[in-house]
Amino acid sequence: MAEPLLRVENLNVTFTAYGRTRQVLRDVSFTVAAGERVALIGETGSGKSVTAKAIIGTLPKNGRITSGSIAIGGRDVLTMARGEREALKGTAFSLIMQDPLSSFNPVFKIGTHLDDVMRFADRRDGKVSSKADRNARIAAVLRRVQLADTERVMNAYPSELSGGMRQRVLIGLALLHQPRLLIADEPGTALDVTTQDEILNLINHLVAEEDMALLMITHNLGVVRKVADRVVVMHHGDIVETGPCTDILHRPSEEYTRSLLDAVPPLYGPRVTDLPQSGEPPIVRIERLNKIYGRRNGYHAVRDVTLALKAGEIFGLAGESGSGKTSVARMIMGLSRPTSGKLAIDAPDPGRGKRLTQIVYQNPGTSLNPKRTVKQTLTLPLKSIGMDAARRDARMRELLELVRLPQSYLAKYPHELSGGQKQRVAIARALAAEPKILILDEPTAALDVSVQKTVIELLMQLREELGLTYLMISHDLSLMRNFCSRIAIMLRGEIVEEGPTPEVFAGPRHPYTRALIAAIPVVTDEEERLKPTVTDEERMRFLVKTTD
């Protein structure tokens, strides 16, 4: 058997912080053969990124490889001299970063970024190259990542390109020197689904065309199905199982992998949950709502939106970034005033200090004050509705019970809690002042899938127990398929399609809805088959341009 391109053997890595040493990787071994596509999958803290950093040689200062070996092309990189190892970057392997915006220095043009990399690599190889020659080579690379107007892209500043285009340039940057192994750290996760889909297609296309090997690091099982031949599942620094992609996704042998797959909300098939439709009268009525930001030639964020939220239902407002879904939610919350149109909430006045609506934010890391304990955070809404200390304590105990957190958590600060626990505290805060309508702004986007599952279950139970109405804003259609009873799709400020969730997914009428659903990475082949089809012409009409 030929020596694989990348061989990681019994890799052990420890991190030292605050005088304590922890093992973050335990005997991690896997290989990537030439031309093979391998996905490293795991949740937060599984060690997948640490593994990638160890391979590239960018472990943080307090991380240490205690034993094991990493061989690229049969040569152990850990025993290599520094300069020699440095020289491998870009030629033996290349890296595609996660965040397409922060990877560029905003004050330099795209062309400068690419030219710098090329110039340094040429100098390292002892080659003298002219600017014109390098420019020609850069243009060729940009064309390979499907950026046809190379002149414009090279003269643009990073902020002038869309997220998808920046991600393409990053991929181009990685390809400058025909590496044999491409390491991709969650490419496209920061982008919209449709853009992410195109980026994954591009990576697949390039890997096949250039005969590169791919090591994809991701937490998304749908992405894995799309881009990997073989999957390595990691959990808490251990490799749980390794196998061909279809085996892992359809016939996992380990309990952990099964639970991970179970937590992924299905898009189609028997596992899909259909929520009952609410027969209640509408509680929120919106008619021809418009929002224009700025005075003259302002940005028309919401155009003639007409909606009705029935009491007790979970209404999903779906759309990609910039579609206006958050603007609609903020107007319902009373946080911003509509430019024109009617907005009525049909419920009795809740009384002193109470609000009909409350919100659960996307990122619990930023929606809880880091300097305030859970108790202080929860006291605020209770105090504002006029509860005295004794009743507040009782109510706080009740709230923690509602969100299934132990009482001892009252004294904790946010940084002592995990992401899911923080989101539970945020939910408790939202519920404290007894709202009727809860707005969920992508409540699980910042969480791992298994945590997402528990938070969603909690939200479902709370709705039943407390008789709440939810408005969920999200771009994650597979989650909304299972969580919302009705759904509306927004595109550039307008609602393009609306209806009961099962109907919308069974027969999406608007081409944009079809394109959106088709772009979702799914786990099983069956779901892929059931997705609606979109013609290229439709795709061109509705999707954000990521090429030129």
Do residues 310 and 282 lie in contact, with contact meaning Cβ atoms separated by under 8 Å?
Answer: yes
Q: Which long-range contacts (CB under 8 A, 24 or more apart) does 396-401 make?
A: 399/428, 399/431, 399/432, 400/428
C-alpha to C-alpha distance for 311 and 313, rounded to whole angstroms: 6
Longest Cα pair distance anywhere in the chain, in angstroms? Answer: 78
Return the number of other C-beta atoms located less than 10 Å from residue 44's C-beta. 13
Task: Pick one of 415, 529, 541, 545: the residue that binds another protein (CB under 8 A).
Answer: 415
C-alpha to C-alpha distance for 216 and 181, rounded to whole angstroms: 10
The two tokens of residue 289 are 């709502």
18 binds another protein (CB under 8 A): yes
450 binds another protein (CB under 8 A): no
C-alpha to C-alpha distance for 98 and 106, rounded to whole angstroms: 17
429 binds another protein (CB under 8 A): yes
Burial class (CB in 10 A: 0-12, 13-18, 19+), 127: exposed
Piece of 136-144, 293-301, 429-437, 455-463 that binds another protein (CB under 8 A): 429-437
Task: Pick one of 217, 305, 432, 440: the residue that binds another protein (CB under 8 A).
Answer: 432
Q: What is the dihedral of CA 456, 50, 234, 15, to 10 degrees?
A: -90
Task: Pick one of 77, 110, 417, 516: the residue that binds another protein (CB under 8 A).
Answer: 417
C-alpha to C-alpha distance for 276 and 313, rounded to whole angstroms: 8
User: Mutual orientation of helices 193-210 and 163-175 as an angle, nearest 10°?
Assistant: 20
Q: How far is the CB of 96 from another protein (least distance, A)?
A: 15
368 binds another protein (CB under 8 A): yes
Q: How far is the CB of 43 from another protein (least distance, A)?
A: 12
455 binds another protein (CB under 8 A): no
Do residues 221 and 350 lie in contact, with contact meaning Cβ atoms separated by under 8 Å?
Answer: no
Nearer to another protein, 186 or 197 (CB): 186
Q: Which residues contact 413 (CB under 8 A, 6 or more apart)?
A: 370, 371, 372, 373, 374
Burial class (CB in 10 A: 0-12, 13-18, 19+), 80: middle
44 binds another protein (CB under 8 A): yes
Q: Which of residues 392-411 bind another protein (CB under 8 A)?
A: none
x-or-dash string of contact with another protein, 335-354, rule CB under 8 A? x-----------------x-
22 binds another protein (CB under 8 A): yes
Nearer to another protein, 393 or 538 (CB): 393
Do residues 122 and 82 lie in contact, with contact meaning Cβ atoms separated by under 8 Å?
Answer: no
Q: How far is the CB of 22 from another protein (least distance, A)?
A: 6
Q: Which of residues 305-334 bind another protein (CB under 8 A)?
A: 333
57 binds another protein (CB under 8 A): no
Nearer to another protein, 80 or 333 (CB): 333
Do residues 306 and 462 lie in contact, with contact meaning Cβ atoms separated by under 8 Å?
Answer: no
Piece of 241-249, 294-302, 379-387, 472-480 that binds another protein (CB under 8 A): 379-387
75 binds another protein (CB under 8 A): no
60 binds another protein (CB under 8 A): yes
Task: Pick one of 290, 384, 482, 547: the residue that binds another protein (CB under 8 A).
Answer: 384
Helices (H) and strands (E) in the chain, counts: 21, 19
Task: Pick one of 10, 17, 79, 244: the residue that binds another protein (CB under 8 A).
Answer: 17
Q: How far is the CB of 394 from another protein (least distance, A)?
A: 18
The residue count for binding another protein (CB under 8 A) is 44
369 binds another protein (CB under 8 A): yes
Nearer to another protein, 32 or 50 (CB): 50
264 binds another protein (CB under 8 A): no
Backbone angles phi, psi at 27, to 5 degrees: 45, 55
Q: How far is the CB of 333 from another protein (least distance, A)?
A: 7
Nearer to another protein, 112 or 363 (CB): 363
Task: Pick one of 6, 39, 42, 49: the residue that binds another protein (CB under 8 A).
Answer: 49
363 binds another protein (CB under 8 A): yes
C-alpha to C-alpha distance for 160 and 438, rounded to whole angstroms: 36
Closest CA to 315 of 166, 167, 153, 468: 468
51 binds another protein (CB under 8 A): no
63 binds another protein (CB under 8 A): yes
19 binds another protein (CB under 8 A): yes
> b/e per residue, 310-336, with b = 16+ CB within 10 A?
bbbbbbbbbbbebbbbbbbbbbbbeee
Q: Which residues contact 159 (CB under 8 A, 6 or more apart)?
A: 106
Piece of 119-127, 136-144, 299-307, 414-422 that binds another protein (CB under 8 A): 414-422
Q: How far is the CB of 361 from another protein (least distance, A)?
A: 5
Closest CA to 425 of 470, 379, 374, 491: 374
- The residues binding another protein (CB under 8 A) are 15, 17-20, 22, 24, 44-45, 49-50, 60, 62-63, 333, 335, 353, 355, 358-359, 361, 363, 366-372, 376, 380-381, 383-385, 413, 415-418, 426, 429, 432-433
